[in-house]
Amino acid sequence: MAFDLERTEKEFLSSLREIRTRDELENLRIKYFGRKRGILTKIASSLPLLSLKEKKILGPIFNHLKGELRQSLKERESDLSSASPKSTKEIQQKPLTSSLLFDPTAPGKEVFTGHQNPVISVIEEIKEIFHYLGFTYIDGPEVDLDLYNFQKLRIGKDHPARDTQQTYYLNDEVVLRTHTSSMQVRYMETHKPPIRVLFPGRTFRRDPVDATHLPSFYQIEGLLVDNDSSMTDLIGTLDFVIKRFFGSKTKTRVYGHYFPYTEPSIEVEVLHKNGKWMEILGAGMVHPEVLKNGRIDPRKYRGWAFGMGPERMAMLKYGINDIRLFYNGDLRFINQF
Ligand code: PHE
């Protein structure tokens, strides 16, 4: 083919954009539409030389293009004569030929699709493992009442965990949840045992950003309430899940801890490849008063709960040493997963 409609259009549009005066516009018109040497005129005169098949495809495209270019010229002309010659809207539109010149035999262009952040993959994987154990999952509000985030979990007004250094208060009663434990009582209020549920979601704390802290991070809360649940059941379940997730040879250790809403409470650490222990979750038996706050009779039922940190789990699993990498949008990092 002795001409390239796509290039012709692009060149025309880019010249058109440069035009500032009527004279320049007239020159451009002559260059393209001139009776003898006009670029479009020449193309028109070579069309009859094409094969019938080519004519069928290119003829209508050419005519359409010619009409469009003429129209753009006209619009530019009226722009120039009006008081504000700024309207370049039409000129910047997507080149017309790119959608019209479809060549089914051309090699495809590589399309870049986005993909899941590794932290979300961890959440999905944990959901799947717990699904196998009979757990469902549910979302909860990120903006919640102080009541559910603290008070119903036995975190009184003067408890150090609600230090203003840590909590984003929207007003006296409303906070950005500092943990997904805010869902425990909310859920118990509206569900009867047996309960087996996960609450994955974002949480917020006023932590300065560094390699292991972000002001917003994810947690996966788990809650089980039944009539014969026990601490050994909790530890056995966590061990099963951690081995499924990190591999059957993973070393874990459990030690006593304190949370106002569980009694007794534990923390679980996993041995990192670098030889250091890393804490990945807090857990414990749901405090009888918390069950009561959720309108569940603690004489009949017992429950356990845990809260995992999926960022930390992803760091352990993939050997990542800076939590900021998950969210700064660097494709060189993200594309490895
Ligand atoms: N909410 C605790 C935290 O953010 C984790 C936890 C959840 C502990 C459930 C006990 C029970 O660290």
- pLDDT one-digit tens code per residue, 142-192: 999 999 999 999 998 888 877 766 899 999 999 999 999 999 999 999 999
Per-residue confidence (pLDDT) for residue 87, from 0 to 100:
47
Q: In this structure, are residues 129 and 242 in contact, taking their beta carbons and an 8 Å threshold?
A: no
Mean pLDDT over each residue of the chain, to the nearest integer: 89
Decide if pLDDT at 246 tops 60. yes
Q: Is 263 annotated for ligand binding?
A: yes
Alpha carbon of 256 to ligand 1 centroid (Å): 13
Percent of the chain at pLDDT > 70 equals 93
- Identify which has the larger pLDDT, 71 or 202: 202
Alpha carbon of 328 to ligand 1 centroid (Å): 27
Pick the atom of ligand 1 nearest to 179's CA.
4
Pick the atom of ligand 1 nearest to 184's CA.
9
- Give the number of other CB atoms < 10 A from CB of residue 250: 15
Decide if pLDDT at 12 tops 50. yes
H helix or E strand, kind and range, residue 301: none
Per-residue confidence (pLDDT) for residue 92, from 0 to 100:
53
Alpha carbon of 259 to ligand 1 centroid (Å): 7
Decide if pLDDT at 32 tops 80. yes
Give the range among 119-123, 237-241, 270-274, 297-301 with minimum mean pLDDT. 270-274
Per-residue confidence (pLDDT) for residue 144, from 0 to 100:
97
Per-residue confidence (pLDDT) for residue 164, from 0 to 100:
65
CA distances from 290 to 48, 286, 298 (A): 86, 7, 9
pTM above 0.95, yes or no: no
Alpha carbon of 224 to ligand 1 centroid (Å): 14
Pick the atom of ligand 1 nearest to 219's CA.
4
Residues in contact with ligand 1 by the CB-under-6-Å rule are 179, 181, 221, 259, 262, 265, 282-284, 305-307
Per-residue confidence (pLDDT) for residue 52, from 0 to 100:
86
State the span(s) of the chain assigned CATH 3.30.930.10.
118-334
Residue ID of nearest Cα to ligand 1 atom 4: 179
Decide if pLDDT at 84 tops 60. no
Decide if pLDDT at 59 tops 90. no
Which CATH architecture is the domain 118-334 placed in? Answer: 2-Layer Sandwich (3.30)
Between the two ends of the chain, the Cα-to-Cα distance in Å is 45
Pick the atom of ligand 1 nearest to 181's CA.
1
Decide if pLDDT at 311 tops 80. yes
CA 18 to chain CA mean position, Å? 40
Decide if pLDDT at 93 tops 60. no
Q: How far apart are CA 21 and CA 199, in angstroms?
A: 65
Decide if pLDDT at 37 tops 60. yes
pLDDT per position as a tens digit, 217-232: 999 999 999 998 999 9
Average pLDDT over residues 314-329: 92
Alpha carbon of 185 to ligand 1 centroid (Å): 13
Give the range among 93-97, 258-262, 264-268, 306-310 with minimum mean pLDDT. 93-97
CA distances from 272 to 280, 315, 318 (A): 11, 9, 10
Residue ID of nearest Cα to ligand 1 atom 9: 306
Q: How far apart are CA 218 and CA 118, in angstroms?
A: 12
CA 8 to chain CA mean position, Å? 41
Average pLDDT over residues 273-295: 94
Tell which one of 176, 181, 204, 279 to mutate to probe ligand 1, the residue whose CB is within 8 A of the most ligand atoms: 181
Query: Which DSSP symbol is given to 286?
Result: E
